[in-house]
Structure 1
Amino acid sequence: MSFTDRLLSLPNLNAVYSAVLLEELRRGGLGHVFLCPGSRCSALTAAVAASSVPHTMVTDERGAGFAAIGFARASGRPAAVVVTSGTAVANLLPATVESCGAPLEMLTPVAPVTHPLRRMQDTGANQTVAQVGMLGPLRWFKDVPPPAESEPLVAWLADAAYAAACTLRQPQGPVQLNLQYREPLAPSAAAWPAALLEAPRVASWPPAPLAYRELLASSSPFTVYSTAEGPPGEEVVAPLAALLAGARRGAGGGCRGCGVVVAGAMRSDAGRRAAAALAARLGWPLLADINSGLRKPGAAGESEGATMSAAAVRSVPLYDLLIGAEEVAPPDVVLMAGEWPAWVARHVCAVLARREAATGTRADPAGSRGGGARHFLFCSSSLPIRHLDMYCAVAPEARSKPNPRPSLAEVLSNRGASGIDGILHAALGAALASPQGGCTCLVGDVAALHDLSALPALAAAAPPLTVVILNNGGGGIFHYLPIASHQVFTPYFDTPHTHSFDSVCRGFGLPYAAASTAEAFEAAYGAALAGGSLSLIEVFCHKEETHRTHQQLLGVARAVARRVLASGARDSALRGGAV
């Protein structure tokens, strides 16, 4: 059955408009829908159930928002969340705050402005929450009028297309369509005129006018927006290139007068190549965050006509220690590179190349992610991501002998607001985005307890996900803060507990394994990856012992740094020397 034929078979206007909205979002790039049950969202839920868009049921609205973030960050495609009205919408606020850099579409049904429920706001009446403005930091918001024979179909088509464009436009972020629905909310029969699909006539691709029926029968979206960023003007790039060229020469040839390139979270290979190429062009050290993807061998790729080797990029491990060392002169210029400004880096690099009369430059190949099976590591906020950032200097090169484990695509995390909520749900979304490669989730015990509502969703979806819970019996991160030396530390910050995840996992039918040694974890993790399905591994450790080991490692690193700096290698320390 064609899409237009399916429209003609739908029982009422709510069903027709919901199906059209969802289809336009799909044509605009929508990759997955996370559904939360509710009455006001009945029409949207029925439309998703009957569509070809992949979708997952999640009972917790807060978790559904984070699952959508995980999918969007792993795939680069928009994910949508469908919830009912009232507090269900309020539960999306944490994900909205965290979703900077992730294309997220939130569909929040509500009663029409003329409905008695909307007129009874602020009277204490049931389910009369004001949803307009509730979610705050959005790329775009629209309070969409309800379906009606007098309401042109073009309005919902245009709103869907613009929402898809806004969420993908750099910097990517969340959008909300506050969809007003009249009764009947269920797919009950209520006659609607088939002529709604015939007129008025609209312009589409190809440019010849098409009726709605013909347009919907095609595969083209109603409106096509360009999300490409054009090159900045010479008046913008030239002064920046001059500043960087001057800083690169330096006042006395030493570290004083030079700069560093700091690479934050990046989700595209083009952005990584641009940052690495600019660092190599300037001869500056590259301080790469664990979320940048630049610590993986070959991540710099081929850019600006040259292959960026690890030596050329000069990525500096343990840069936190070097930056804090008194022996290292601070750089005069700090160039910050992230996903949004990466295209500027390409053009600055080109200007510098022209100034040096280079043989020429070429644009980075298109494409945001490589093909094949990609295994993501979704790392929780708090201690896991901090330890990973500190201790994982550069990912090891591929072994010469066969390795059954999938290659790591990139590290994902929720570090926009550094909250520990929604980690398991976000990892679920990331795993659904890579069904062949799967995902590993590294999470602490407190964060896992915070997101226990994800367990039924994990059991139902059964994604290729290995969850590793580091159970150190409480809030280990507070041992690293000054509050640890004060009497109030325990129990108000340390939050000690004796909980284990064995029984709750078995209660939801989740495969579970426990490990207390490195050898036991290696065996359990290898078996989980070989199985390629859902599993949970609980690793028992001691936060006091971990803190002592951390301090010892820092002491060794500081001693090595001081030795290198004392040997006269002041400049090489921050220029990618061996530290």
Structure 2
Amino acid sequence: MNEREVLSKYVYTIVSALVASGVEQVVVSPGSRSTPLAYAFASTKEIEMHRQVDERAAAFYALGLAKSTAKPVVLVCTSGTAAANYYPAIVEAKYARVPLIVLTADRPHELREVGAPQTINQVRLYGDNVKWSAEFPIPDEAPQTIPFIERHTVRAVNIATTAPFGPVHLNIPFREPLIIDFTDKLPVSSFIKSYTNELQPAKQAVAKLTAIIEQTTTGILIVGELPLGTNTEYLWDFIREVKWPVMIESLSNLRTEIPEDCQIYAISTYDTLMKNERFKRNVRPQTVIRFGAQPVSKFLMQFIVQANPQSYIVIDEDPMYRDSTHMSTHFIHALPGEWLSELKLANSQAEMAYVQFWKMADLLAADVIEKYSQFADDEGAMVQAFLTSIEEDADIYVSSSMPIRDIDTFLLTQNRPVQIFANRGANGIDGVTSTALGFSNGRKNRKTYLLIGDLAFLHDANAFVASRYQECDLTVIVMNNDGGGIFSYLPQSKVEEHYEDLFGTPTALTFEQMAKMYELDYEKATSLEQFKNALIADKQTPIKLIEAFTDRDENVKQHRELWARIHEVMEQWLDSL
């Protein structure tokens, strides 16, 4: 074969192995050294190609696609700093457990560390932030090369999609010329199929879990953000069997569509309840069982530390299980699955009075929260109006800092199939818009909304370039309080010196001109009433931007008044007991 034929067979073998392993989507950024890969993906009908010129935004876009589909997504870029721009999204994918297959094109070995342009050290570029990394050989006619790259590509997908999910990296060097012969038919893979195990707990673990539950009179469940693809019906079966109060984080997506017979166990206002010391003293649990990631609520995690339960069981798919409290007493290596619905308790000691105590407090707090917009005109009231007005079968992507906390506060238990998602692996505010755009493209049968602050929105101003290359459907709500609103709730806010320069960081920027540049619908809201009108206004373009102007100081004041009202109601109730 000539050089061109060798190169063509090489790249199409990679694509064929990816398709055979279940990969359906690829995100490509332009560049010369990645030409062979880009051509191979672009000419393959079995895989959908997305484009984004900014590699940093492209990686977050791929992250969103993977989160929405619970399937691996491929990233392709050229050599040099293009690959380095993937780094923030790869870090998020690692800690959020999202499967990305990162393919970085590279210069051949003779051009490395000799001053050649667009050449950096890309071998193991992402270090421990990927589950696995490998370098491919230069395309050649050696009989071992094609079988090697074929099986390493399969290995990459297997590793990315084995619990815990995560990113993998394949570095692929090419020599010039970079042009390939196009083909309508992928080569037939000599590797047939991978079979991986379902992650279930050991029998001894199930026996111990059952014994602890049967001996517990006062226990609580905590459900954080769950692994991609989790069947939540198994968790509801477990909740029915255990009959304990369950602290349901918004990102678990268990707060909506709660089965009727499980309503009594569902607690959504725990973050606010944990601000009342008397209540906490009355509900100290003997046992805590947690599924999924640690919740957003710092107050809930502090409560566990203060309560010091006899048993704190973490059920996680990663042996490096998550427990920043360092209070766990047992770890069970498992995914939430069918085994939960098969657990049967012979002698449950759970106290119904304990459940009812939790639920009454939850209902009292929820009643105050539901009336919030009658007293407030701030970001919280707007988030509440947003949650009550959006259609069913909608997804909300939420930025870190205040937006996710407001969602966690104002999303009460309900029976509407609204789902919440966020980048809470590393809890950063970068790349959120790109992630939401990718997410929306993976869930075209549902409406997608993005709730984000002004600084996070600025972090990802290039995101909408993706809309120039593929259809995008998204409604973006920017809470513009001119700075970092989350810091107003932290101790730094009490020190006036340097506060605005270092933490408030006002920019005085607004986004109407950005909307014009990208040809987005734009609605401006300076009051709760205007915001409600903006939400229901007809959408003239695929992407709509609602910019809600709020005041940081007023937001803090109104939120604290809400907590004070709930505290007062709780004290009156506790006095009456």
1:492 pairs with 2:502: yes
> What is the rounded CA distance, in whole Å, between the counterparts of 2:52 and 2:464 in structure 1?
10
Name the residue aligned to 2:545: 536
The counterpart of 2:99, out of the listed 97, 103, 106, is 103
Name the residue aligned to 1:510: 520
1:63-212 pair list within 5 angstroms: 63-99=57-93, 100-112=96-108, 115-118=109-112, 121=113, 125-136=116-127, 137-150=129-142, 151-187=144-180
The counterpart of 2:23, out of the listed 22, 30, 42, is 30
Name the residue aligned to 1:281: 241
Name the residue aligned to 2:298: none
Name the residue aligned to 1:46: 39
Name the residue aligned to 1:332: 286
Name the residue aligned to 2:263: 311
Deviation at 1:350, TM superposition (A): 2.7
Task: Report if the CA contact (8 A) 1:32-1:80 is conserved.
Answer: yes
- Counting matched residue pairs gives 486
> What is the rounded CA distance, in whole Å, between the counterparts of 1:156 and 1:561 in structure 2?
63
Name the residue aligned to 1:364: none
Give the 3-state SS of the residue equivalent to 1:493 in structure 2: helix
Task: Report if the CA contact (8 A) 2:200-2:334 is conserved.
Answer: no
Structure 1 residues 564 and 17: alpha-carbon distance in aligned structure 2, compared to 1, 3 A threshold: farther
Name the residue aligned to 1:295: 255
1:468 pairs with 2:477: yes
Name the residue aligned to 1:455: 464
> What is the rounded CA distance, in whole Å, between the counterparts of 2:433 and 2:236 in structure 1?
32
Amino acid across the alignment from 1:432: N
Name the residue aligned to 2:223: 263
Deviation at 1:553, TM superposition (A): 0.9
Task: Report if the CA contact (8 A) 2:398-2:404 is conserved.
Answer: yes
Structure 1 residues 456 and 270: alpha-carbon distance in aligned structure 2, compared to 1, 3 A threshold: closer
Give the 3-state SS of the residue equivalent to 1:295 in structure 2: coil
1:14 pairs with 2:24: no
Name whichever of 258-267 and 273-282 sits farther off: 273-282
> What is the rounded CA distance, in whole Å, between the counterparts of 2:509 and 2:544 in structure 1?
19
Task: Report if the CA contact (8 A) 1:274-1:343 is conserved.
Answer: no
For structure 2, list consecutive stretches of 5 or more residues without a partner in the other structure. Answer: 293-315, 318-332, 349-391
Task: Report if the CA contact (8 A) 1:241-1:351 is conserved.
Answer: yes
The counterpart of 1:524, out of the listed 525, 534, 544, is 534
Name the residue aligned to 2:394: 375
> What is the rounded CA distance, in whole Å, between the counterparts of 2:226 and 2:15 in structure 1?
29
Give the 3-state SS of the residue equivalent to 1:12 in structure 2: helix
Give the 3-state SS of the residue equivalent to 1:506 in structure 2: helix
Task: Report if the CA contact (8 A) 1:33-1:55 is conserved.
Answer: yes
Taking only aligned residues, the RMSD between alpha carbons, in angstroms, comes to 2.7
Give the TM-score of the pair, scaled to structure 1. 0.78
Amino acid across the alignment from 2:268: P
1:236 pairs with 2:205: yes
Give the TM-score of the pair, scaled to structure 2. 0.78
Task: Report if the CA contact (8 A) 1:379-1:411 is conserved.
Answer: yes
Amino acid across the alignment from 2:421: L
Name the residue aligned to 1:434: 443
> What is the rounded CA distance, in whole Å, between the counterparts of 1:269 and 1:310 in structure 2?
22
Percent pairwise identity: 30
Task: Report if the CA contact (8 A) 1:375-1:434 is conserved.
Answer: no
1:385 pairs with 2:381: no
Deviation at 1:30, TM superposition (A): 1.5
Give the 3-state SS of the residue equivalent to 2:106 in structure 1: coil
Cα offsets for 1:203-231 (capped at 9, x unmatched): xxxxxxxxxx9x945xx883422344154
Structure 1 residues 19 and 394: alpha-carbon distance in aligned structure 2, compared to 1, 3 A threshold: same
Structure 1 residues 497 and 221: alpha-carbon distance in aligned structure 2, compared to 1, 3 A threshold: farther
Task: Report if the CA contact (8 A) 2:475-2:544 is conserved.
Answer: yes
Name the residue aligned to 2:363: none
Deviation at 1:516, TM superposition (A): 1.9
For structure 1, list consecutive stretches of 5 or more residues without a partner in the other structure. Answer: 1-7, 195-212, 251-257, 301-307, 357-372, 399-406, 569-579
Amino acid across the alignment from 1:242: A
1:243-254 pair list within 5 angstroms: 243-247=212-216, 250=217
Task: Report if the CA contact (8 A) 1:10-1:16 is conserved.
Answer: no
> What is the rounded CA distance, in whole Å, between the counterparts of 2:234 and 2:570 in structure 1?
29
> What is the rounded CA distance, in whole Å, between the counterparts of 1:40 and 1:76 in structure 2?
30
Deviation at 1:348, TM superposition (A): 5.2
> What is the rounded CA distance, in whole Å, between the counterparts of 2:205 and 2:76 in structure 1?
42
> What is the rounded CA distance, in whole Å, between the counterparts of 2:462 and 2:166 in structure 1?
25
Name the residue aligned to 2:385: none
Cα offsets for 1:181-222 (capped at 9, x unmatched): 222123389xxxx9xxxxxxxxxxxxxxxxxx9x945xx883
Give the 3-state SS of the residue equivalent to 1:334 in structure 2: strand
Name the residue aligned to 1:402: none
Task: Report if the CA contact (8 A) 1:78-1:167 is conserved.
Answer: yes
Name the residue aligned to 1:321: 272
Cα offsets for 1:390-433 (capped at 9, x unmatched): 221224x45xxxxxxxx53x211001111000011001101110
Give the 3-state SS of the residue equivalent to 1:109 in structure 2: strand
> What is the rounded CA distance, in whole Å, between the counterparts of 1:355 and 1:14 in structure 2?
66
Name the residue aligned to 1:222: 191
Name whichever of 475-484 and 507-516 sits farther off: 507-516
Structure 1 residues 567 and 14: alpha-carbon distance in aligned structure 2, compared to 1, 3 A threshold: farther
Structure 1 residues 125 and 157: alpha-carbon distance in aligned structure 2, compared to 1, 3 A threshold: closer
> What is the rounded CA distance, in whole Å, between the counterparts of 2:288 and 2:38 in structure 1?
49
Deviation at 1:138, TM superposition (A): 1.3
Name the residue aligned to 2:554: 545
Amino acid across the alignment from 1:14: L
Amino acid across the alignment from 1:445: D
